[in-house]
Amino acid sequence: MSSQTISDIAQAEQGTSLWKDAWLRLRKNRLAVFGLVTLCLFIIIALLTPWIAPYSYQAQNLELGASPPSAAHWLGTDIFGRDMLTQIMYGGRISLAVGFVATSVALLIGVTWGAVAGYVGGRADAVMMRLVDILYALPFMIFIVLLSVVFGRNMLLLFLAIGAVEWLTMARIMRGQVQSLRQQEFVEAAISLGLSPGTLIRRHLVPNALGPIIVYTTLTIPNVMLLEAFLSFLGLGIQPPQTSWGLLISYGAETMEEYPWLLIFPGLALTLTLFSLNFLGDGLRDALDVRGSKD
């Protein structure tokens, strides 16, 4: 039997049972399942919004003005008579998109950076992680406000800036994983069996570090969505005519005395999404038995 087949079999068996186990554990966690279902529902709605939204995004009804929830407008209308459900659906598209895209940016930079630092080790590792330490100490919220001033209020930039903020923890986690995996016997065995570094990383290091990466990714998305909402609330994020939950909350806060539903419904949408992501992340952490990824 060649070394390749041995590692294949071991990998395949361990792989399926690990993920199956995790799935079984996750299914027992009611809050995590609630989070997963809610999240999937919201994503499906966001993807289908242009076809299923009850009204068109621009449709106004100035004679109607702000009206409380009714049969025609389930979540009421805003001061221009725009349907709130439609606004929230379109806002959710942007909020979720920012969350997922910026997290992907963070994931890509962080995992690459951490894996390289952890794998190469030595002086390169020291320099790379020192840089992470320095960036870590920077007050990034303030820098994002600064960036939004310097480069104008551009959505692509917002994605990049937020992604560039959130990769640091990912890099630290990935480096720690790779470092501890490198010292384990099965990796030593794989090296002594003559696996090339590329195969080693692909077959052994990345699959074994996947748990923490998935957990941390799930927990990064709500952070990113909060950042976007924070900036939009201040008027430095998403700009009209586009909208996001943060922007809707900021409009709602201005008129909440007369029209509280304009604050409550977008607030509920954002809070429910953040809830779901956090519960799912916590559930995944328990299911995949990841410790020390956060907190």
Of the pair 142, 156, the CB lying nearest other proteins is at 142
What are the residues binding other proteins (CB under 8 A)?
133-134, 137-139, 141-143, 145-152, 222, 226, 229-230, 233-236, 246, 249-250, 252-253, 256-257, 260, 263-264, 267, 270-271, 274-275, 278-279, 295
Work out how close the CB of 145 gets to other proteins at its nearest, in angstroms, rounded to a whole number: 5
For residue 77, list its beta bridge partners: 67, 83
Q: Is the dihedral of CA 187, 191, 197, 199 positive or negative?
A: negative
Work out how close the CB of 97 gets to other proteins at its nearest, in angstroms, rounded to a whole number: 18
Of the pair 8, 289, the CB lying nearest other proteins is at 289
Work out how close the CB of 207 gets to other proteins at its nearest, in angstroms, rounded to a whole number: 28
Of the pair 107, 219, the CB lying nearest other proteins is at 219
Of the pair 106, 247, the CB lying nearest other proteins is at 247
Of the pair 185, 257, the CB lying nearest other proteins is at 257
Do 118 and 179 contact (CB within 8 A), yes or no? yes
Do 157 and 105 contact (CB within 8 A), yes or no? no
Work out how close the CB of 239 gets to other proteins at its nearest, in angstroms, rounded to a whole number: 13
Work out how close the CB of 252 gets to other proteins at its nearest, in angstroms, rounded to a whole number: 7
Do 35 and 277 contact (CB within 8 A), yes or no? yes
Of the pair 119, 279, the CB lying nearest other proteins is at 279
Of the pair 29, 208, the CB lying nearest other proteins is at 29
136-141 long-range Cβ contacts below 8 angstroms, 24+ apart: 136/168, 140/165, 141/227, 141/230
Work out how close the CB of 182 gets to other proteins at its nearest, in angstroms, rounded to a whole number: 25
Burial 39-59 (b: 16+ CB within 10 A, else e): beebeebbeebeeebebebee
DSSP result, 175-213 = HHHHHHHHTSHHHHHHHHTT--HHHHIIIIIHHHHHHHH
For residue 12, list its beta bridge partners: none
Work out how close the CB of 56 gets to other proteins at its nearest, in angstroms, rounded to a whole number: 27
Six token digits for residue 108: 């890509």
Work out how close the CB of 134 gets to other proteins at its nearest, in angstroms, rounded to a whole number: 5
Residue labelled with tokens 């990034």? 140
Of the pair 67, 278, the CB lying nearest other proteins is at 278
User: In terms of C-beta density within 10 A (0-12 exposed, 13-18 middle, 19 or more buried), how is residue 24 classed?
Assistant: exposed
